[in-house]
Amino acid sequence: MAECAVNGDSDVLIRAEKFKEEANQLFKDKKYEEAVELYTRAIEANPKSSVYHANRSFAHLRLENYGFALEDASTAIACDKKYIKAYYRRASAYMSLGKFKPALRDLEAVVKVRPTDKDARMKYNACSKIVKQKAFEKAIACDDNKKPVSETINLENISESLGLYCSFYHPFSCMKLSRGLQNNIKKYLFIVKMIKTFIIKNNKIKGKNCRLSISLSVRYNPLCYQSPVKLSQKLDNKLTVCGDVHGQYYDLCHVFDINGLPSLDNPYLFNGDFVDRGSWSVEVILVLLGYKVLYPHNFHLVRGNHETDYMNQMYGFEGEVKAKYDGMMMQLFSEVFNWLPLSYCVNRKVLIMHGGLMEQDNVTLEDLRSIDRNRQPPESGLMCDLLWSDPQMQSGRGPSKRGVSCQFGPDITSKFLKHNELDYIIRSHECKNGGYEEQHNGKCITIFSAPNYCDQMGNKGAFITLRSPDLKPKFTQFDASIPIITISKKFHPEVQPMAYANSFMRM
């Protein structure tokens, strides 16, 4: 842990304070990266200030750099063990990383100092509830014979009385697309109807059997059993690659407005983080799964780090599913997420994954195929890296700013591509001001498709178009704007991001 140096130069201290004030204003303006830079300059001038470290920790939390946030908060506490805000910051970082017990210890320290602080008590109670829930889940998790919920659903009870819904979303229908053009037209019309219903009326799909069938069809889709999925793009055919959507349903529809609805001639690949944070995650995932059923060979989904139980519990998807449907539906979504591929390889030239490259050298595509992925991700290893790692400017590998996996430099990317005879990688996982970023001499591309992320970042969204034979990426940027299909004066209904998130994360 960093030592808190003492600097007695009054001019230096005044300059440090000025940096802090400027950083505070940038933070208020939601310019978090710029705020981090100025907080860093303030810390360089006065390393002993717990306030500067705690403030930078808060900015890192907004940037989802939970590892850095944890480090800064710990340094702030080392500088001043009585600085309560630093305990709040560290507890938030621990919670974001799924480390509930140390978070509870920090909040307990706050409550002891401020026993009448209602906010502190509320956060302590929220964290304590999670710790107890996790202990209970661990105690009952020893039942190895417990069947997946998808295997407990009686398929005979899914009645044809639902008409168009059931004719489209009957389980295993993705394996039976040869029933004729008329059936496919019905499926297509149903999808369009569902999109418009979600947008205009902000409704959920009626009928329990319908939504069960959507998920069951994808759960048993044989294409979900391969990873990396070998994807071949035919000459003159394009593939659209989208990054994080994060429950921003109206922006998803805007992508379809700009680029056309998915079809046999207009294939898509969505690169993880479909859900959480945004408050229309259910609508997003049902439309994406529906298109997967309709076009199993032309519509592709990659698992992201937010397609996991812990992230769903904290960042809103679980709460939204239970509010709009029920707990069994959440279990079914969890099973579907477990089976999603972790990566795609296009024409043996481009590898697409949500996070990035691995902590170890000489990893092959065959190594990635051998991953046992029908589970919740471990805290380390190839599966964890594919979901969580990030690129960095420096060569080599560095500690993760998120506190999970690692960061990898341009030399790591170059070695991996050469070892596997690939041209470049596409990944997502990070909000970019322009919606995308080319790094590592163009060999590592980040794509992010949630504009004005969480209604506060002001970033553009983007998607990539790849065409055979060279697969040279073409970028299309877009703003958070009114989708044509809505016929609405507002961008989206007045529901805030994180509306269904764990109460602690909303505080």
Helices 327-339 and 208-219: crossing angle in degrees, nearest 10, is 20
- Alpha carbon distance 352, 305 (integer Å): 14
**Alpha-helix residue ranges (DSSP H) falling in 80-235:** 84-96, 100-113, 118-140, 164-168, 181-201, 208-219
Helices 32-45 and 10-28: crossing angle in degrees, nearest 10, is 170
Classify residue 485 by its DSSP letter: G
What 3-state class would DSSP assign to 288? helix
- Alpha carbon distance 97, 405 (integer Å): 12
- Alpha carbon distance 83, 54 (integer Å): 9
Contact 254/491 with Cβ under 8 angstroms? no
**Count of CB atoms situated within 10 Å of the CB of 201:** 8
Classify residue 49 by its DSSP letter: -
**Residues with catalytic function:** 306
CA-to-CA dists, residue 16 to 20, 140, 329, angstroms: 6, 53, 52
**For residue 325, what are the contacts with CB-CB under 8 A and spacing of at least 6?**
204, 211, 282
Contact 73/51 with Cβ under 8 angstroms? no
DSSP string over 289-300: HHHHHH-TTTEE
What 3-state class would DSSP assign to 344? strand
Contact 495/279 with Cβ under 8 angstroms? yes
What 3-state class would DSSP assign to 63? coil
Q: Which residues pair with 463 in a beta bridge?
A: 242, 476
